[in-house]
């Protein structure tokens, strides 16, 4: 996994959606969910 250095800001609603995604995918933290979303949307 490449090291990312750019900060990302989210609204409260966006964070809630990412939390839901992380729970469904059984991820430990939000950074894993964000990384997964980034990797799946590179096309």
pLDDT digits over 9-40, tens only? 999 999 999 999 999 999 999 999 999 998 99
What is the spatial distance between Cα 36 and Cα 38, in angstroms, rounded to a whole number? 5
CA-based nearest residue to 8, from 41, 40, 39, 30: 30
Scan for tokens 């609603």, then name that residue.
13
Higher pLDDT, 10 or 41: 10
What is the spatial distance between Cα 21 and Cα 14, in angstroms, rounded to a whole number? 11
Spatial contact of 34 and 7, defined as CB atoms under 8 Å apart: no
* pLDDT the model gives residue 10: 95
Indicate the pTM of the whole model.
0.75
């Amino acid at each position: 996994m490449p090291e990312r250095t750019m900060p990302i800001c989210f609204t409260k609603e966006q964070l809630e959606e990412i939390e839901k995604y992380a729970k469904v995918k059984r991820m430990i933290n939000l950074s894993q969910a964000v990384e997964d979303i980034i990797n799946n949307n590179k096309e």
